[in-house]
Amino acid sequence: MRPINEAHVAVPGLAVVEVAAADDASAFAVQELLAARWAIAPADRTTREPGEPGVRRRCFLDLRQEPDS
């Protein structure tokens, strides 16, 4: 995954959440739970690290906004 840069967490209320899960379905389910509560920039895919189990995905949250605003 690309590094988290300063813009991702520039002000209070912005957050980056990295999810490690056994499979794509589990990782997407976590994203859906986050999206139900906060405004997010969703990821459209997961990544696999060679030699490591499971998948990873990163979501960018804006805790200052309601979902779908």
Question: Cα(20)–Cα(43) distance, rounded to whole angstroms?
Answer: 13
Higher pLDDT, residue 22 or 7: 22
Torsion 35-28-45-7 (CA) sign: positive
Question: Cα(14)–Cα(33) distance, rounded to whole angstroms?
Answer: 17
Higher pLDDT, residue 66 or 17: 17
- Residue ranges per domain, the chain? 10-62
15: amino acid identity, one letter: A
Is there a contact between 38 and 63 (Cβ–Cβ < 8 Å)? yes
Q: What is the pTM of this model?
A: 0.76
Q: What is the pLDDT of residue 10?
A: 74
| Tens-digit pLDDT profile for residues 23-57 | 999 999 999 999 999 898 888 889 998 999 999 99
